[in-house]
Structure 1
Amino acid sequence: MITTLSGETFLKMKNDLSFVIDFELNIFEHQSTPSPNIPLRDLYYLAANLKDLVKQETLYGPTLVQIPTPKFYVFYNGTIAMKDEVTYRLSDMFKKKVESPSVELIVTALNINIGHNKDLTEACKALKGYSIFVTKVRKYIKEVEAEYNSSHAISLNLMADNKDIMKTLIATAIEISIDECIQEDILKDFFTDYRKEIIEVGVHEYSFERHM
């Protein structure tokens, strides 16, 4: 059962997926920036999900209400170095540390950049293809920036401050990366079918990443 929340999201794009399988509520997110605050965000997300899944009136009765077991994961593919696996805990955010917190939420962050978590990426064709694609995009962004800088004699700082220029360069890098992935049979059908959407989302994502 898909339980991904609807409504407005950051940058008007979804970077989360929630579903119930075998009585487990699995909540996955994608991040390109390490964030120790993810447990609190997931606590909000969990509460909203359970509110949709459980009828409020049943909570006041004598019968135990059973809920799916929550599990939280983050797929990380940013440029800041990170171990293959990092654990974030809600209790790490508490100002006052206690030995046995009354509330705890644990999130497992998995680095899916090329060279990390090889067993996972080899087992999942989509994750591996996505990681390869992101690596290509970052490579070509640097190359098209350097080429533009060389041909227009404009400083990198001024170029970075011009949003229209940057969006054009990022879109170019994404298009080159998509073409390469199709040629190399990396998620070929996906890139062929959703080329326009991937470019639009990619420009938003990489523009935001640079802004941050």
Structure 2
Amino acid sequence: NFLDLYNALSGSDYKLEDVTMERKVIEQSLYKTYNNDVSWIIDGKLIVLVEHQSTVNNNMPFRCLEYVTRIYETIVPIDRRYAQKVYKIPNPDFYVVYVGKDSMPREQELRLSDAFYEKDSSRLDLVVKVKNCTDPKLLPIAKNCAILEEYCRFIEIVESTYSRRFPRSSFRKAIEKAVSEGILSDYLSRKTREVTNIPCA
């Protein structure tokens, strides 16, 4: 599922049988604020962080910097950090899938350097590619990835049932409706309690 998502976002054509994949999970008990949606290493060369957003967030480069720093900490042994020889680390690739209602460009790049008081990308920068999947011209991205298409449909259900007065109960109804329609049913059935707490986080 993840490989299909990444191929749809990046335009690549990775085949599951041709690559080695390792999921990277940031320990939530230690780094709750750094928990992200999906992180994988593909063939030991590529870290991909995918953050689904239903609201506009121009601080994603900073958040991704936090995420990838924690992931690199799990990859590079402490003793190698002080060694003379360079320790190679995977190239990072950052994507945001936007499915909200606010007006957004079809595609855009957010840069960490845009947040600096004095803009200067020569010292430190991080680029996040944002894909607006509510744009009809980008619909093939969702159509080419079943999980992403289901996620977009789930967001529609949430928005149509959500109540500010009763956030948890309305969100639970959205989950029940999605599961009954076979939308993200496996994930939502396993993660009902965790997902239901999202509106109250």
| TM bucket normalised to smaller | 0.7 to 0.9
Matched, 1:42 2:59: no
- 8 Å CA contact 1:15, 1:30 repeated in 2: no
**Partner in structure 2 of residue 151 of structure 1:** none
Q: Give the greater-gyration-radius structure (CA).
A: 1
Of all paired residues, the percent bearing the same amino acid is: 25
Farther off after superposition, 105-114 or 40-49: 105-114
Contact kept? 1:85, 1:109, Cα under 8 Å: yes
- Going from structure 1 to structure 2, the CA distance change for 1:140 and 1:19 (only over 3 Å counts) comes to same
Count of residue pairs brought into register by the alignment = 177
Is residue 164 of structure 2 the alignment partner of residue 191 of structure 1?
no
- Shift in Å at residue 101 of structure 1? 2.4
> Structure 1 pair 56/31, CA: closer, same or farther in 2 (3 Å)?
same
TM-score by length of 2: 0.74
For 2:84, what is the secondary structure of its paired residue?
coil
* 1:15-46 alpha-carbon deviations (Å, 9 max, x no partner): 42211103111122222222111111111222
Q: Which residue is 1:148 aligned to?
A: none
The verdict on how the C-alpha distance between 1:46 and 1:197 changes in structure 2, with shifts beyond 3 A counting, is closer
| C-alpha spacing 1:168/1:56, structure 2 compared with 1 (3 Å) | closer
Q: CA deviation at 1:203?
A: 3.6
User: 8 Å contact 1:86–1:109 — kept in the other structure?
Assistant: yes
Q: 1:137 Cα deviation (Å)?
A: 2.8
Gaps of 5+ in 2: 1-21
Q: Which residue number corresponds to residue 13 of structure 2?
A: none
Q: Is the 8 A contact 1:34 1:78 kept in 2?
A: yes
> For residues 54 and 173 of structure 1, do their structure 2 counterparts lie closer, same or farther at Cα, with a shift above 3 Å needed?
closer
Q: TM-score, normalised by structure 1?
A: 0.71
Query: How large is the RMSD of aligned CA atoms in angstroms?
Result: 2.7
- Structure having the higher helix fraction is 1
Task: Tell me the equivalent position of 2:136.
Answer: 115
Contact 1:25 1:70 in 2 (8 A): yes
**Change beyond 3 A, Cα 1:84–1:166:** same
